[in-house]
Amino acid sequence: MDSERVLFVQKCGELLHAAKPSLICCELKLGKNIPYKANNSSFMPDGEYVVVTCINKHIYTIYVDGNSLATIAAAIFTKMLHK
């Protein structure tokens, strides 16, 4: 993973937290590093995901398929708009 993308997602998490205090942070993770209990699979499918953690410990996973930072930001803020 590119360190620039990791840092960008963390900064997006800070903005998200400022707008919605119940959303604590964002992290960029690979699917193989995210435990998942659906479809009899122990991990998420390959790819990059943004993991958003809420104050109540609920976790949202957002698949990131674009290469640009703008695409990542759009995916995060669109998905979390009404959460």
Is pLDDT above 60 for 50? yes
Which of 57, 56, 60 has its CA nearest to residue 80? Answer: 60
Which residue, chain included where needed, has tokens 């410990």? 57
In angstroms, the CA 35 to CA 45 distance is 10
Per-residue pLDDT at 31:
87
Domain residue ranges of the chain, discontinuous segments joined by +: 3-79
Which residue, chain included where needed, has tokens 């435990």? 35
Neighbours of 74 (CB within 10 A): 12
pTM: 0.86
